[in-house]
Structure 1
């Protein structure tokens, strides 16, 4: 009885001290660690009450961030660069996931498409100004085709499978779970992020004001993320079940989806290396920074933004991770 009362008291105290963090996530992408941490109360145990807000895709989160309606957002690199380039006071706290085959170009075999070169004159679904659009342009360039030699159909990821099944497009370029749905309907993959020599993944973006004003909440979020990563390594099925339920898949179906992604979740230590966000003071030389700058050039060329940032340095804020790692040391 005394043990029960003690646990109840600790729970009440933790709840009273918890800070509400408004988090945006994409319904059209896979959020394995986030759903696990939220559904099992991990955030609350670390003093963070997470309020999840769904969005169809990353670009839709930008107005919510600008209006201060959400504090953190899980998105791709393209909306983050778009928002930052347009003067939004946002910053990238970490790259949560690196994908190698999550983004795929799939084609309808009945349309006579065997290679990327066969896309000439065909209808291809992409989300214009996004990762999928950029992947398509790289694929076309490598095949010696121009963008105007295909008919681009601008669709959200969720609208691509119905368009494919209805025969409204001959090919599509997007990510899980929707690319997997098209493959289930007979589409055949002919290119991936890896085969095109590109990188992509998911990042956590924050309002600068939130990071500055709520450092304890940020640390609680990072602590939860660290714990979720460790649990995922030790017991993948335990962590995956919550996101599998959200997307309506069995454990076996979701395991197959994860295998198709070929994703990795870098540790905080890895994030502070040149392969990701760079060591402190050397962020501008990191692979991820070069990647973002290339995205900026793409967005300017496609007239999605008017110019790239004069100063890229503030787009990264690795100080919270640095503080976390220092505090974690015995």
Structure 2
């Protein structure tokens, strides 16, 4: 099917006169190989945080960065050292230690990256965005499939796993506050890496898990968890972005520009070939391709675009207070941290302006047939269900957008509501209950009943 984002050409930037720099390696204190004619660029990324794939996993698999570096024609041989991490925190630690030049991470870790860089005399700059969701749908709170917990208020006194300082932790804190709970007093927060938290949820040592992509979708796909809270209910943007060491950016602007051009190429590839991109990422990470597609597909939860939108910068400023309350940072000068000069130059001013003006269309449901290289879109949940009812053994995965937030979810994991002749999907019980409260006669039905009613 057609990608949900308009395909924008990757324009060539104007030729740049590059001053002759001493041929020392990137990566801070690292030294050049051999006689100094080889430069190593170190890139930190998170392979399983699939909202960063255009600056990490997918970009690496496509080889676009290496090709861009080879085309610089500056007489230097470039090597790229790709370093994979579970979260943004170790990437920041390596950047401030002079071991990583470019890194990608979520919005909250980006702020910590800015704060630590300034504190340790190794300032960094946010230079592009990878993927975003303007409502916050990239983070989800889930509970075990058989759990009786049905609302945020039910979390009072419970053990909730999250990664402190992450965007998922920010979602948890804000959601609990809106529900009238004190995040510091009313729950027992378990500060755990995503994989550890997933295991804790599965073993019963955690009652709920608040995490970022792709963990909630993965656990739902595996039948180990169900959504309790859709982060898009906050209606606050969340995103991942690219940060670069300021000294590296100043000394090697052509290298950074090459990276951002390559990122734009990877974004164009993902938009044009969403199924193939999902399968590439799945092969590299071990994640199910169906889960990758939930977030990165044609109608996926994430919109990929390297342009730094003003809404995302504003959201970053709002995030500072959450981290300050948690005593993870002090004040952060977001305006000084965000620097779109490099990505604007890489894309060209006209294309950059076009990207900022573009808006994703309304989300739609889609079916990924077995053996197919493209998904099939559906204009309504009813039409999608009718198709599923008649092709039950021919479908690899089916996805539907929440009727109120637009967050995509697996059709067989959604909360379904029958309202007269319509069937409406919701990611979490709370959004379904909110709809029921305003629509007399509507009721929750099982997925099996929804299929039967649609057939």
- With the length of structure 2 as denominator, give the TM-score of the two structures: 0.61
Q: Select the residue among 343, 357, 364 that pairs with 1:321.
A: 343
Counterparts of residues 122-161 of structure 1 (less than 5 Å): 122-147=158-183, 148-161=185-198
Asked whether the equivalents of residues 120 and 149 of structure 1 are also in contact (C-alpha less than 8 Å), the reply is yes
Q: Helix, strand or coil for the counterpart of 2:234?
A: coil
1:25 corresponds to which of 36, 45, 51: 45
Distance 1:118 1:302, change over 3 A: same
Tell me by how many angstroms 1:36 deviates.
Answer: 2.8
Secondary structure in 2 aligned to 1:75?
Answer: strand
The answer to whether the 8 Å contact 2:124/2:244 transfers is: yes
Tell me how far apart the structure 1 counterparts of residues 243 and 113 of structure 2 sit (CA, whole Å).
10
Structure 2 alignment gaps of length 5 or more: 1-35, 71-78, 352-455
Q: Which runs of 4+ in 1 moved over 3 A?
A: 16-20, 249-254, 256-261, 325-329
* Cα gap change, 1:257 to 1:296, in 2 (>3 Å): closer
Match of 2:268 in 1: 230
Deviation at 1:77, TM superposition (A): 1.6
Which residue in the other structure is 2:419 paired with? Answer: none
Separation in 1 of the partners of 2:67 and 2:173? 45
Give the TM-score taking structure 1 as reference length. Answer: 0.82
1:60 corresponds to 2:90? yes
Distance 1:18 1:217, change over 3 A: farther
Structure 2 residue aligned with 1:304: 328
**Could you tell me how far 1:52 is from its partner in structure 2?**
0.6
Matches within 5 A, 1:41-120: 41-47=63-69, 49-86=79-116, 87=118, 88-99=122-133, 100-108=136-144, 110-120=146-156
CA contact (8 A) 1:32 1:240 kept: no
1:245 aligns with: 283
- On the 8 A contact 1:164/1:171 being kept in 2, the answer is yes
**Could you say which residue in structure 1 is the equivalent of 2:59?**
37
Distance 1:110 1:328, change over 3 A: closer
Determine if contact 2:306/2:343 at 8 Å carries over to the other structure: no
List alignment gaps of at least 5 residues for structure 1: 1-15, 277-285
CA displacement 1:96-148 (0-9 Å, x = unmatched) = 11034331011235442111111111111111122122111111111111121
Whether the aligned pair in 1 keeps the contact of 2:108 and 2:170 (CA below 8 Å) is: no
Question: How many residue pairs align between the two structures?
Answer: 297
Q: Measure, in 1, the Cα distance between the counterparts of 2:350 and 2:317.
A: 32
Q: What CA distance in whole angstroms lies between the structure 2 residues aligned with 1:250 and 1:127?
A: 23
Tell me by how many angstroms 1:19 deviates. 5.1
Change (3 A) 1:26 1:120: same
What do the CA deviations read for 1:254-284 (whole angstroms, capped 9, x no partner)? 324545951001253xx3xxxx1xxxxxxxx
Q: What residue is the counterpart of 2:212 in the other structure? A: 175
| Deviations 1:64-122 (CA, angstroms, capped at 9, x unpaired) | 00111010001012222123224240010011110343310112354421111111111
Cα contact 1:101–1:261 (8 A) shared by 2 = no
Aligned residues of 2:152 and 2:179 also touching (Cα < 8 A): yes
1:266 maps onto 2:305 in alignment:
yes
Aligned residue in 1 for 2:318: 294
Cα gap change, 1:225 to 1:129, in 2 (>3 Å): closer
Aligned partner of 1:4 in structure 2 is none
CA distance 1:221–1:229, shift in 2 (3 Å):
same
Structure 1 residues 40-70: Cα deviation after superposition (integer angstroms, max 9, x where no partner): 3222221164321011210111120011101
Q: What SS does the corresponding residue of 1:262 show, helix, strand or coil?
A: coil
Give the superposed CA RMSD: 2.4
- CA shift at 1:175, angstroms? 1.9
Is 2:131–2:306's contact at 8 Å kept on the other side of the alignment?
A: no
Whether the 8 Å CA contact 2:261–2:347 is kept in 1: the answer is no
**Largest Rg, 1 or 2:** 2
